[in-house]
Amino acid sequence: MDDKYGDLIIFDVSPKEHQVFSKKVCEILGVKLGDCEVKKFKDGESDIEIND
């Protein structure tokens, strides 16, 4: 991958098995697909934890 976009990372909060499109976009742009996890709370709030 070239470093065309510097430290740009794309995060997709979809389940891993549904990230085909975002993986292809990252491949085309030459950027990294970041690792993150979505946690849902009982009150309806969401928390996105970035693992990179």
Alpha helices in 1-52 (DSSP H): 20-29
Q: Which pLDDT does position 7 carry in this prediction?
A: 83
The pair phi, psi for residue 27, each rounded to 5°, is -65, -45
Give the three-state DSSP class for 33. strand
CA-to-CA separations, 32 to 5, 29, 40, in angstroms, rounded: 10, 9, 25
Per-residue model confidence (pLDDT) at position 5 = 65
Residue spans of the domains in the chain: they are 9-50
pLDDT of residue 23: 96
- Interval 1-51: pLDDT, tens: 556 667 889 999 999 899 999 999 999 999 999 999 999 999 999 999 999
CB 36 within 8 A of CB 20: no
pTM score, two decimals? 0.70
